[in-house]
Structures are given as structure tokens and as C-alpha cells.
Amino acid sequence: MSDSRPPASPSRGQTRGRSRGHTRGLWIAIVVILVPAIVIPLWVPLYDKVDPRLNGWPFFFWFQMAMILFATSCTVVAFTLSRIADRKDREARGASAGQGRVGE
């Protein structure tokens, strides 16, 4: 890996193909869960209106406050999944310990 150019394939594929294979789906799920928490708050036309009001709050304001709760739920779920994925990665790595780091 002393080549200065990056590998053409996704970076982790080359060195950790085996251990990442188990958790690739989980890491993709984490990204999929987080994307709406980034995209929806930035999609201003979606919520830039007064009605429907909630308890006197214009939609614009209560929707964004609600988005905080939504985004928090997303990050909490993603965090939980990341713990599982990390543990599986660790186990997979433990199994191959003693052979040195793959790719060196």
C-alpha cells in the first residue's frame, strides 16, 4: 500500500473485505437512516407555510421543532446499529488476529 494513488475500489474493500462483508448491510442501513434527517430539514419549500397551525404555532416553526425529535430518533437508531456493526467488525477481526493486518 505504499502506492500514493488510492485503490480504485471502495477503500475498505481491499483490506477488510472479509470482515466488512458481514456488516456492510448494517453500515448502508445507517446511512439510509441518517439521510432523511439531513435532507428534510433542508427542504425548505416543504414546510415554509403558516398552516396548519398547532396550538398557535405556525407550521413553519412547529414542524422544524418536530424535526429535532425526528432527527434525534434517527441518530439514536443509527447509533444503536453502529454499536452492533462495530461489535461484529471487532469479532470478525478477532478471528483473523495473529495473521497480521490484512493488506500489509
Partner 1 sequence: MNAVAVSVFVFLFLLVTVLGFAAARWRKAKTLDNLDEWGLGGRGFGSFIAWFLIGGDLYTAYTFVAVPATLYAGSAVGFFAVPYTIVAYPIIFLFLPKLWSVSHRHGYVTPADFVNGRYDSKPLALAIAVTGILATMPYIALQLVGIQVVLDVMGMGQDSGSWFVKDIPLFVAFAVLAAYTYSSGLRAPALIAFVKDILIYVVILVAVLYLPSKLGGWGHIFDAAQTSFDGFNKENADAIAAGQVPGKAMMPPPVAQWAYASLALGSALALFMYPHSVTAVLSTKNRSVIRRNAALLPAYSFLLGLLALLGFVAIAAGVSVGDPPNPQLAIPQLFENEFPSWFAGVAFAAIAIGALVPAAIMSIAAANLWTRNIYKAFIKRDATDAQEAKQSKVASLVVKFGALVFVLAFSKQYAINLQLLGGVWILQTMPAIVVGLYTRWFHRWALLAGWAVGMLYGTKLAYDVPLPGDPTSHFGGPLTLIPGAETTKIYIAALALVANLVVAVVLSLVLRAMKVPEGTDQTKPDDYWADLGDEDVEPELDPYAEPHR
Give the binding site for partner 1 (CB under 8 A): 1-2, 4-7, 11-12, 14-16, 31, 34-35, 37-38, 41-45, 48-50, 53, 55-58, 60-61, 64-65, 67-69, 71-72, 74-76, 78-79, 82-83, 86, 89-90, 93, 101-104
* CB of residue 43 to partner 1, shortest distance in Å: 8
Q: Which is nearer to partner 1, 95 or 102 (CB)?
A: 102
CB-based burial of residue 101 (10 Å sphere; 0-12 exposed, 13-18 middle, 19+ buried)? exposed
The span from the CA of 92 to the CA of 86, in Å, is 10
CB of residue 91 to partner 1, shortest distance in Å: 12
Sole residue written with cell 485503490: 7
Question: Shortest approach of partner 1 to residue 26 CB, angstroms?
Answer: 13
How many angstroms separate the CA atoms of 95 and 76, rounded? 29
C-alpha closest to that of 38 among 66, 60, 67 = 67
Minimum distance, C-beta of residue 96 to partner 1, in the bound complex (Å): 12
